[in-house]
Chains A and B, each alone.
Chain A
Amino acid sequence: MLARYWRLAGITGGLVCAAGDLPAQLLVRAALGARYTSTLVHDSIVTPFDVRPALAPALAVTAATPVGERWTAQATLDFSSSTLERHDVGGGTTGLGRVSTLAFTVGLRRPLAAGFAASLGVGGVKYFPANATGIFRQGSGAIAGLGAITVEYAPAAGARYGLGVQARYDAHRFITPALQSEGFDSPRLVHRVSLAVRAGWGGGAAR
């Protein structure tokens, strides 16, 4: 599993480095930040408890190209990884092993006033547990549909390198085959929020 992370990091790094000679119409942005994920599973055995990932580092790489005066079409690959935790009602926390997510979205971005921009995307997210145990003992299930909204702010001072900050919200539904076997009758809506700093390369990176 670790090798997979390094491979992904290598691909990401390669994409970013290759962006140095991008065509004028292609823009690549990389964003690095932190992600909060809401509860994946709420259950009750004697007492209630929640299962959710810990605060995770998040890396996103976006390729974009203009499709009109003010719109940009973009595709984003987003990766995050952290420890899955069980939070008991009494305050106890138990680590359940590492879990990573890889999300792919396609969408549209539009600049707003005063250095702000907003984008909307749809795609899918897949969970990659480090071990096939617990709620992932029968696998992580199919790719889940995902919707994402991102708001960015790029100050004029950082225009040369496309520097900016961005807040991303996305939502998807989560269930695994093991949870279905346990008796969960439907997926749970999971919210994720990430805050990141970004840099851009290529045409229009500053915007």
Chain B
Amino acid sequence: MKWAALALTGVVAAGCEPTVPVRGCAGCTYDFADTIPPDTSLVFHWPAARLPVRYYADSRAAMPALVATGIATWNAQFLYGEFRAVQVADSTAADVIVQWEAAPPPDVPPDTSTVDACAGSTTNPSVVFRDSSARVLHVTLGVKAGAFTDAQVAGCLRRVAIHELGHSLGLLKHSLSRFDIMNAVPTVSFPSVTDRRTVELLYHTPPTVLPPP
């Protein structure tokens, strides 16, 4: 059996431990925690026991598609099952409700411009779940006043929907980089590596705010 022992030794020797990726570098992530001066840090993310997070989308116009894109985009950022969201048809069974702020805009194909033609808002999980008995987060999307084309509005809504869903995941702060989807005025179409590293870090950081069980 000398041949077998030699072969086994060769196989074992061939296996070098891969290097774990560097994640703690400066600028690789941005701040995700809310703060209350002087020293309270509010970290929120959905715990494993609450997954999948259930999103309900206003059924009018492009909202279901916008939310589906947002969910798929954020689901794809995680390597190790830290977060998973699904879309539900019943708003009473939802953890997050996404609605139009006013009348929905026409559902047209988006253009490729980065015009700031729309707006969004998300109720702050660190406030909702810490200071009230609410069990649901609310996200609203709307159109800004101005001379924008329907295609510009559609393109903007696609970016802002992903951005607002990012807030509902627990990314409570804005990135200072215009290359990140979590910049205050998102101009990119997808989360950047920095967005991904940040949300990854968030979901491995012990939360200080939890949703109701």
Contacts and interface: CB of A to CB of B under 8 A. Distances in A.
B75 to A, nearest CB: 7
Interface in A53-96: 86, 92, 94-96
Contacts of B78: 134
A120 B3 contact: yes
Contact of B81 (A47, A86, A118, A173): A86
B76 A187 contact: no
Interface stretch (B20-28, B89-97, B119-127, B147-155): B20-28
B146 interface: no
B19 A186 contact: yes
B4 A184 contact: no
Contacts of A43: 20-21, 79-80
A129 to B, nearest CB: 12
A171 B20 contact: no
A45 B23 contact: yes
B103 interface: no
A171 B11 contact: yes
B15 A47 contact: no
A147 interface: yes
B145 interface: no
Interface stretch (A19-27, A155-163, A175-183): A175-183
Identify the interface centre among B4, B22, B201: most chain A CB within 10 Å of its CB: B4
Contact of B11 (A86, A134, A147, A187): A147
B38 interface: no
Given A95-B81, A178-B79, A189-B12, A120 B4 contact: yes
A135 interface: yes
Contacts of B205: 46
A101 interface: no
B184 interface: no
A167 B8 CA distance: 15
B102 interface: no
B8 to A, nearest CB: 6
Contacts of A135: 79-80
Contact of A49 (B3, B15, B22, B80): B80
A185 B19 contact: yes
Nearest to A49: B80
A135 B79 CA distance: 5
B36 interface: no
A118 B4 contact: yes
B17 interface: yes
Contact of A134 (B4, B7, B14, B81): B81
A57 to B, nearest CB: 22
Contact of B204 (A47, A120, A189): A47
Contact of B80 (A51, A149, A171, A184): A51
A1 B200 CA distance: 28
B80 A147 contact: no
A70 B176 CA distance: 72
A45 B200 contact: yes
A43 B79 CA distance: 11
Interface string B189-211: 00000000000110011000000
Contacts of A183: 21-22
Nearest to A189: B15
A42 to B, nearest CB: 7
Interface string A124-159: 000000000111010000000001010000000000
14 contacts: A43-B79, A45-B23, A51-B80, A94-B48, A95-B81, A118-B4, A133-B76, A134-B80, A134-B81, A169-B8, A184-B18, A186-B16, A186-B19, A189-B16
Given A94-B81, A134-B78, A135-B79, 5 more contacts: A44-B20, A46-B204, A173-B15, A189-B14, A189-B17
Interface of B: 1, 3-4, 7-8, 11-12, 14-23, 48, 75-76, 78-82, 200-201, 204-205
